[in-house]
Amino acid sequence: MITREECAALDAVDPLAAFRKEFALPDGVVYLDGNSLGALPARTPGRVRQVVEEEWGRELIRSWNEAGWFEQPYRLGQRIAPLIGAEPDEVVVCDTTSVNLFKVLTAALRLRPGRRTVLGDGAAFPTDLYIAEGVTALFEGARSVLVTPEELDRHLDGDVAAVVLSHVDYRTGELLDMPGITARVQAAGALMIWDVCHSVGALPVELGAAGADFAVGCTYKYLNGGPGSPAFLHVARRHLAAGPQQPLSGWFGHARPFAFEPGYDPKDGIGRFLTSSPSLLGQAALESSLDVWERADLAAVRAKSLALTDLFITLVEGLDGIEVATPREHARRGSQVALRHADGYPVVQALIERGVIGDFRAPDLMRFGFTPLYLSHTDVWDAAQQLAEVLESGEWREERFSRRGEVT
Amino acid sequence: MITREECAALDAVDPLAAFRKEFALPDGVVYLDGNSLGALPARTPGRVRQVVEEEWGRELIRSWNEAGWFEQPYRLGQRIAPLIGAEPDEVVVCDTTSVNLFKVLTAALRLRPGRRTVLGDGAAFPTDLYIAEGVTALFEGARSVLVTPEELDRHLDGDVAAVVLSHVDYRTGELLDMPGITARVQAAGALMIWDVCHSVGALPVELGAAGADFAVGCTYKYLNGGPGSPAFLHVARRHLAAGPQQPLSGWFGHARPFAFEPGYDPKDGIGRFLTSSPSLLGQAALESSLDVWERADLAAVRAKSLALTDLFITLVEGLDGIEVATPREHARRGSQVALRHADGYPVVQALIERGVIGDFRAPDLMRFGFTPLYLSHTDVWDAAQQLAEVLESGEWREERFSRRGEVT
């Protein structure tokens, strides 16, 4: 078995090691929940303070023009584009993932008149499924059907307008074959919408190379944009050229928002997917996080992510009661490791008390996210060691570890 | 004419004078654009810093439970309720005004099956009209029709499902008769949706007393929640009891969001109007602003607002080229004064250079918002004096004042 010293040796030659100081992590914590809420970049408090005290407090309304508040949704979209393999004019930052999925899925159904089925992964993060229900309820005769990715092909008939899938499964961390699935969906005449919440910032996402039609994603996981930071959406240029119609037609999507015309006339391009005023504080935090991402090499991120998840799997498989739920094959793995344990909830709570923060998803999954920018091999070794001690000691059986908060 | 000394005497007995120190306004500025973007409360930077550095940075994912992030949309809604004359369980804070109007208008159309017309004020803030277009496009045979408030009654036929009106006109500052209009709309069998963006925090809004069905509003104007701060929505209890269906059915509106069930089952009550993760930074800023509002007496706010707008009108009417567009009758006036001037744009720019910040709306309206919590009678006198000097000197004719930014 690999030793802590060997991990330290790997850290010494880690090309991403310098990124650790870009994050303000608390002492004594190994944070393995960056797949849920990313850590605070060290530069973010200063940037947020600047927006609050200077742009808002001192410059007031003038900042809409002078601080470039209007361009922020586009500018942030342009900076996210390389992280998802998209063109800069295909991405915009706004609203939340759910709201953005509502927009692109409605636009997709309108691009496929006569087709009335939306396929979703029944195991996907449920908000995508709920939104698909919400959208299809608005189209006469439309329905959303839940399938597994494995069953997808036999459901791809001539009635399927769109398919919504998570690039990485939020529970198991399984990574889907984006190019292969996209090609098969499109061959059936349907449109492919990817939810990249659990892959953006975790690995190189290649929406353009895969020929994806639409994508949505959040920025508060691997991108470290902060709690409730604004989401993004992607629309392929070929669809933008056709003038897709999204239903949340607010004034920020209008061709001339300050002409205050009574009729809606959408902007050309990705701007027509905007609805209303952006959250400037949330965008400021995201902006400072993207300053960090700008210097990160995604190939190095992916290589380290696989090394860390490999290491963790190696260290924990065989522990008492543990079953690894995440695929071993690199091509099928995101940047998290999910472990099944019959009493996963109290085990995770006991680990948190020891400073190793992961989370739990019912019925039995302990999730551990590995964020290459701020985790080291030694951190992974320490986390595995703590897990071994929790299981060996049986301390997780203490009653207090079974009391549940709302986020479980 | 009233003198500056007389204004100072009024300030000396102003019961709201102590609120001025609650705001971090820059020196040398009379800020008359709080109807567009409210000023920074002095306590807000500290509260935002706490959320960023402690709740996010130090406590990380644990803050969802421990810092009460989940309850925040409800808690903030409960605190806005008294400002709009609503019950605490009728209001929730989330998303943007446009997105929230989309939700309540769709719910309203579903509550009036068979009716297919939405009436809106053609002079209302256009995003409401654009959203009404977006919603009606999703209902077979539905249409949105623009009328003036004066024409409303003769359009209230049996096909009208809902009426959307701004309580205060964003251009002229005209205040509509909320109880009277609501009663007439409901007598015709339609539902009344009020946009209170330009009245909340400016005057006592009495949605409950008026029997309104739904309302939406923003928090970045008179409520001082900060740029792009989250909006709110109101649904009358009688409608909540009937289980209204809103289309943006994301996981935060689910009865059991952490059960991760594949099918959507909305919460009981106002929570079913939530969609997804709130912007915690934006909510933190709003929270600190509501700390200030909690101590403000709305009757005193209204009295001072009328006194300030009366004063401004008295001081500026008769100035060269100026026509007062705002109603003189108190019952028909919000908290802003709009002045028509053929060259309003450069006049406003020249005023801004002198430290009096108002704004301009095409074709000829100069808008001045009067926020009783941080403006004094002396401020109003100074602003009127500066306007007189700008007009008298003709300095606004200098070419640089005609160059336009995006916000005009």
Report how far residue B196's alpha carbon sits from residue B215's, in angstroms, rounded to the nearest whole number: 7
Q: Residues 57-76, chain B: which have Cβ within 8 Å of A? A: 57-58, 60-66, 69-70
Confidence class of residue B405 from pLDDT cuts 50, 70 and 90? low
Strand partners for B93: B232
**How many CB pairs lie under 8 A apart between chains A and B?**
284
Locate the chain A residue with the closest alpha carbon to B37. A61
Interface of A with B in 173-202 (CB under 8 A): none
DSSP A34: T
Range(s) of chain B covered by CATH 3.40.640.10: 47-293
Is a pLDDT exceeding 90 seen at residue A237? Answer: yes
Q: Which helix (H) or strand (E) holds B144?
A: strand B143-147
Average pLDDT, chain A: 97
Average pLDDT on B167-179 reads: 97
Note the pLDDT tens digit of each residue in A61-80.
999 999 999 999 999 999 99
**Which of A39-48, A115-124, A221-230, B102-111 is predicted least confidently?**
A115-124
Hey, what long-range contacts does A386-393 have (CB within 8 A, 24 or more apart)? Answer: A386/A30, A386/A351, A386/A354, A386/A355, A386/A356, A387/A316, A387/A319, A387/A347, A387/A351, A387/A356, A388/A315, A388/A316, A388/A319, A389/A354, A390/A347, A390/A350, A390/A351, A390/A354, A391/A319, A391/A320, A391/A321, A391/A322, A391/A347, A392/A320
Contacts of A140 in chain B (CB under 8 A): 140
| Percent of chain A scoring above 70 in pLDDT | 99
The full length of chain A comes to: 408
Extract the tokens encoding B244.
Answer: 């209204």
Do residues A86 and A207 make contact, with C-beta atoms less than 8 angstroms apart?
yes
Q: Are A166 and A190 in contact (CB under 8 A)?
A: no
Task: Give the range among A120-134, A218-232, B212-226 with minimum mean pLDDT.
Answer: A120-134
Which phi and psi angles does A60 have, rounded to 5°? 55, -140
- How does pLDDT run across A331-367, given as a tens digit for each residue? 999 999 999 999 999 999 999 999 999 999 989 999 9
Q: Which residue from B299, B244, B300, B311 is spatially nearest to B271, judged by alpha carbons?
A: B244
Question: Which residue among A53, A357, A359 sits closest to B45, beta carbon to beta carbon?
Answer: A53
Mean pLDDT computed over every residue of chain B? 97
Active-site annotation holds for A221: yes
Where do the CATH 3.90.1150.10 domains begin and end in chain A? 4-16+297-402
Please name the residue of chain A whose CA is at the shortest distance from the CA of residue B35: A61
Closest-CA residue to A234 (of A194, A197, A279)? A194
Average pLDDT score over residue span B60-82: 96
For residues A14 and A26, what is the distance between their CA atoms, to the nearest angstrom? 22
CB contact under 8 A, B276 and A129: no
Give the gap in angstroms from C-alpha B1 to the nearest C-alpha of chain A. Answer: 31
C-beta separation of A372 from A15 below 8 A: no
Q: What is the pLDDT of residue B406?
A: 56
Task: Indicate the SS3 state at residue B406.
Answer: coil
Q: Is A304 a catalytic residue?
A: no
Residue B229 has pLDDT above 50, yes or no: yes
Residue type, B100: N
B221 labelled catalytic: yes
Average pLDDT of the segment spanning B7-18: 98
B360: buried, middle or exposed (CB in 10 Å: 19+, 13-18, 0-12)? buried
Question: Residue A394: exposed, middle, or buried by beta-carbon count in 10 A (0-12, 13-18, 19+)?
Answer: exposed
Average pLDDT of the segment spanning A229-256: 97
Q: Quick one: CA torsion of B380, B381, B385, B390, rounded to 10 degrees?
A: 0
* pLDDT at residue A408, as a whole number: 46
The rounded distance, in Å, linking the Cα atoms of B336 and B326 is: 8
- CATH match of A47-293 with 3.90.198.10: no
Burial of A42 (C-beta count, 10 Å sphere; 0-12/13-18/19+) = middle
Interface of A with B in 144-163 (CB under 8 A): 146
What angle in degrees, to the nearest 10, is found between the helix axes of A280-293 and B280-293? 150
A303 pLDDT exceeds 50?
yes
* pLDDT greater than 70 at residue B408: no
How confident is the model over B95-108, as pLDDT tens digits? Answer: 999 999 999 999 99
Query: Tokens for A196?
Result: 């990249």
pLDDT tens-digit readout, B240-254:
999 999 999 999 999
Q: B133 vs A263: CB contact, 8 Å cut-off?
A: yes
Q: What ipTM was reported for this prediction?
A: 0.97
Rounded mean pLDDT, A156-179: 97
Does the pLDDT at position B123 exceed 90?
A: no
- pLDDT over threshold 50, residue B303: yes
Mean pLDDT confidence for B307-330:
97
For chain A, report the end-to-end CA distance as a whole number of angstroms.
Answer: 32
**How many Å from the N-terminal Cα to the C-terminal Cα in chain B?**
32
pLDDT for A405? 66
Higher pLDDT residue, A405 or B350? B350
With beta carbons less than 8 A apart as the criterion, state whether B264 and B126 touch.
no
Which 8-state DSSP code applies to residue A203? B
pLDDT tens for each residue of A243-278: 999 999 999 999 999 899 999 999 999 999 999 999
For the residues B129-133, what does the mean pLDDT come to? 97
The answer regarding whether domain A4-16+297-402 maps to CATH 3.90.1150.10 reads yes
